[in-house]
Amino acid sequence: MESTAGQSLTLDDIAHRYAGSLAVDHVTLEVGAGELVALLGPSGCGKTTLLRIIAGFIAQTSGKVVIGGKRIDDLPPARRNIGIVFQNYALFPHMTVAENVGYGLAARGTDRNATKKRTTEMLDMVQLGHLADRLTKQLSGGQQQRVALARALAIEPRVLLLDEPFSALDKSLRLDMQIEIKRIQRAAGTTAIIVTHDQEEALGMADRVAVLSQGKLEQFAPPSEVYDTPATYFVNQFVGTANVLPGKLESIEGDRATVLLDDGTRLSTRVPASPSGVSAPGIGSKVVACIRPENMRLSDRPLGAIEGVVELGMPLGATIVHEIRTRSGLRLKLTEPRTPGTLPRPSGTQVLVEPASPSSVTVFAAP
């Protein structure tokens, strides 16, 4: 059999319109061979539509899909050599595990010995060799999902597509399956796209994350970059937690800006983000300074610090979370690592809080 190594996938300016509404809004994405990319975004942002376009189940309104350097838009789904794992597995209940896994090969006219050999390899890979002769309806959810994965990989797909593959699994099994799929994808060298609305799943599994909102690509970057330097206010709000402090952009010097917050505090920040196609906010314009809870700390110097009162302190074992109400009435969250014996500040304590560093403060035009 040919090598299982995946191929590169390019989405070139893909748009898709369902009667009247634009579900995919000119998305361009280049996925490297063997890369695992997560499509992350809220329900309805166009993730499934994009996968169905790649698989060939729907024809895009405009744009190109290119795999391994060749345009595939004229190929029917069965000839695209793409493996697909859906959220509800879609296994054949009246077939055994082995018959399910071998189905795609048999349908392609692969001879019986080769099909059997490949099926055994795939079942060993997902550690289900001992259940080859069971009917799939007699398996647990996690086992069924592994059969679905083995079936998708059996045909040696050029690209593997996974649409919310874990949403029917309970939480503890999810993490096991995330690790397992990543391990198998690595081992097989398959190019993979996983669709999810779960930011932890996307950040944890993917080499790069593509964040979508209302059909538009907001950011395409490695997980740590998406988390540390969100490109847009939407990404800032959708991925992780952030405190949002309204103010005015006062000045920009090199890679630092100064924001005058509404409560009178001056913060040194990153320069405002300028998402592609949108101009960055100008001096004097209304902005929001965004800081993650773990990037805020208690301070003892008043300059550049925000005055507030502890509303609630929670000792969470490894961390302490304080909720602080500022003079202007904002509620901020602050997370610190906790050392043994440390207690939260009592409610009512006057405190000063500040960003850990200017580079941990991202600035966007006021939404």
Tell me which residues touch ligand ADP (CB under 6 A).
18-19, 23, 41, 43-49
Could you say which of ligand ADP, Mg ion, none residue 49 binds, taking C-beta under 5 to 8 angstroms by partner kind? ligand ADP
- Number of CB atoms found within 10 A of residue 267's CB: 22
Could you say which of Mg ion, ligand ADP, none residue 83 binds, taking C-beta under 5 to 8 angstroms by partner kind? none
Name the nearest CA neighbour of 192 among 220, 160, 166, 215.
160
How far apart are CB 108 and ligand ADP at their closest, in Å?
29
Helices (H), the chain: 47-55, 97-107, 112-125, 141-154, 171-188, 199-205, 223-228, 233-238
Of 45 and 98, the one with the shorter C-beta distance to Mg ion is 45
Could you say which of ligand ADP, Mg ion, none residue 264 binds, taking C-beta under 5 to 8 angstroms by partner kind? none
How far apart are CB 161 and ligand ADP at their closest, in Å?
12
Cα 1 to Cα 323: distance, rounded to the nearest angstrom: 59
How far apart are CB 274 and Mg ion at their closest, in Å?
30
Contact positions with Mg ion (CB under 5 A) in 10-69: 48
How far apart are CB 151 and ligand ADP at their closest, in Å?
22
Could you say which of ligand ADP, Mg ion, none residue 270 binds, taking C-beta under 5 to 8 angstroms by partner kind? none
Could you say which of Mg ion, ligand ADP, none residue 113 binds, taking C-beta under 5 to 8 angstroms by partner kind? none
Of 38 and 324, the one with the shorter C-beta distance to ligand ADP is 38
Pair type for strands 191-196 and 159-163: parallel
Query: CA torsion angle for 178, 179, 183, 185 (degrees, to 10)?
Result: 10
* Cβ 193 vs Cβ 34: under 8 Å: no
How far apart are CB 162 and ligand ADP at their closest, in Å?
13
Of 213 and 362, the one with the shorter C-beta distance to ligand ADP is 213
How far apart are CB 39 and ligand ADP at their closest, in Å?
8
Of 214 and 349, the one with the shorter C-beta distance to Mg ion is 214
**Phi, psi at 343, each rounded to 5°:** -110, 155
Q: Is the backbone of residue 302 left (phi > 0), alpha (psi -120 to 50) or beta? A: alpha
Could you say which of Mg ion, ligand ADP, none residue 44 binds, taking C-beta under 5 to 8 angstroms by partner kind? ligand ADP
By three-state DSSP, how is residue 5 classified? coil
Q: Applying CB under 5 A, does 196 fall inside the site for Mg ion?
A: no
CA gyration radius, the chain: 25
Of 87 and 360, the one with the shorter C-beta distance to Mg ion is 87
Can you spell out the DSSP letters for 184-253? HHHHHT-EEEEEES-HHHHHHH-SEEEEEETTEEEEEE-HHHHHHS-SSHHHHHHSS--EEEEEEEEEEE
Name the nearest CA neighbour of 291 among 254, 329, 324, 251.
324
* Cβ 230 vs Cβ 291: under 8 Å: no
Of 86 and 364, the one with the shorter C-beta distance to ligand ADP is 86
Could you say which of Mg ion, ligand ADP, none residue 46 binds, taking C-beta under 5 to 8 angstroms by partner kind? ligand ADP
How far apart are CB 196 and Mg ion at their closest, in Å?
9
Binding site for Mg ion (CB under 5 A): 48
